[in-house]
Structure 1
């Protein structure tokens, strides 16, 4: 998968571009991926908040997305 990080004028990541072929594969594996009308449960929001705080405290722990994809392929 060849993704591209989209950045704002300050170089901060604002999104990810996924080639359409890869998106179709993802949609086949996760048919409800486009169902965005469901509100997240509070426990899910809490986990996200905890992870964001951890990243804010230790940004050097972030890894490139390509490293994740390599790990997932194994």
Structure 2
């Protein structure tokens, strides 16, 4: 199995990427793996409304956004 590991900035493994063909084979072999995906809840109406509002704000002024890396640095530097 050709797995890829995801690591955080300290080098700690935080996740694994499984090639889709191998994931499909695992799901076929172990039916309980399908349960998590089949039972995932839909968004509630209030969650959809928040997303719609945020998308509307973005589309009305797409240049008014914050850089992710800069925002992350600002958050990490706050006491």
Normalised TM-score (structure 1): 0.51
> Is 1:24 equivalent to 2:14 in the alignment?
yes
Gaps of 5+ in 2: 16-35
Give, in angstroms, the shift of residue 38 of structure 1.
2.1
Query: Higher RCO, 1 or 2 (CA under 8 Å, sep at least 6)?
Result: 1
Deviant stretches of 4+, over 4 Å: none
Q: How many equivalent pairs are there?
A: 47
Structure 1 residue runs of 5 or longer lacking an equivalent are 1-18, 26-34
Cα root mean square deviation, aligned: 2.6
Larger Rg, first or second structure (1 or 2): 2
* TM-score, scaled relative to structure 2: 0.49
